[in-house]
Amino acid sequence: MPLISSTYRPPLGFANGYMQSIYPTLFRRLATSHLQHETLELSDGDFLDLDWSCGYGKQLVIVSHGLEGHSRRPYVAGVVREANRQGYDALSWNFRGCSGRPNRLARSYHSGATEDLAAVIHHAQNQGYQHVHLVGFSMGGNLSLLYLGRDSVATAVRSAVAFSVPCDLKASAEQLAKRRNRIFMWRFLRDLRGKMTEKAQRFPGQVQVDDFHQIRNFRQFDDRYTAPLHGFSSALDYWARSSCLPYLSHIQHPALLVNALDDPFLAPSCYPRAIAQSSPWLHLELPAHGGHVGFVERGKDQVYWMERRAMAFIRQHSPDNK
């Protein structure tokens, strides 16, 4: 597909990737009290916490959050609200341990855990949804595109939209390790330390946190925790096997990848122009601005460009609209 010319234009004062990345977290608030909670039991003895917003239509939008996010983050809630407005049901799900309560096993979530997304999709199909669309942000975007390109895709899946995706996990980890991104790195490690401390108390033989303070970047964290807890030999092995980049050319469902050119988290390899140009399925949109899961717009109802863009693509590939 030829690259898509983006329609996103930042408001005055938001032509800065760092501002775009920080502002929504600090100032955007959307209602989530109406969501209906469900716990999905998994075959390995663990569970996933789901949030439903139903009664709007026969098609379902499944939303996957980012690293150390959860199903009620404003960027997730924005897509849920816009999907409902346009006649779609929505399901936002929490990665293992991200709903506010610890998961049961020593393992956690990671960028390549497509089996959990597959379990959510299978559950949705069992509820009667024959047409499912995926929306993912950051890690959730990598997970969604990796699922489409590497796994056996469920028959109900019709399209996918992914924003701010670290398609190349190694390069993105190196990007976040740079001095200019240390505030983001510090926040991620602070949150992850809390989770690893809780796991160390329950699984002292598998998780140790005595010297966690020495960890400064994702290379060290993934070598120490992610890789051994999830069956990888090292951080490099984990990144290589869990990055969606090598699998983008295998996608055979309509997929839209939106990565802002000023995203402070993304390396040059996360803008796969050549792959998109040779693929009949992958649509690539590269706005000049938007930061990481930003794409801020001004307005009383706090609708951001990214949820409008996601639903426009989903409508284009919805069976009822053909």
Catalytic residue IDs: 138, 263, 292
Q: Name the pLDDT band for 321 (thresholds 50, 70, 90).
A: low
Mean per-residue pLDDT for 210-215?
A: 95
pLDDT tens-place string over residues 271-308:
999 999 999 999 999 999 999 999 999 987 889 999 99
Quote the pLDDT of residue 322: 43
**Which residues on neighbouring strands pair with residue 160, listed in sequence order?**
134, 255
Tokens matching residue 305: 């460009």
Whether residue 319 is predicted with pLDDT greater than 90 in this model: the reply is no
CA distance readout (Å), 246 to 83, 168, 240, 287: 30, 9, 9, 23
Query: Which helix (DSSP H) or strand (DSSP E) does residue 41 occupy?
Result: strand 36-41
- Which residue type is seen at 274? A
User: What are residue 4's phi and psi, to 5 degrees?
Assistant: -85, 135
Could you give the dihedral angle defined by the CA atoms of residues 217, 110, 36 and 157, in that order, rounded to the nearest 10 degrees?
130
End-to-end CA distance of the chain: 20
Over residues 141-145, mean pLDDT: 98
Write the single-letter amino acid at 21: S
pTM over 0.95: yes
* Backbone torsions φ then ψ of 71, nearest 5 degrees: -75, -5
Assign 309 a pLDDT band (cuts: 50, 70, 90): very high
Residue 158 makes CB contacts below 8 A (sequence gap 6+) with 59, 131, 132, 133, 253, 254, 317, 318, 319
- Residue 185: per-residue pLDDT: 97
Q: What is the pLDDT of residue 300?
A: 77
Domains and their CATH numbers in the chain: 17-168+249-317 (3.40.50.1820), 177-242 (no CATH)
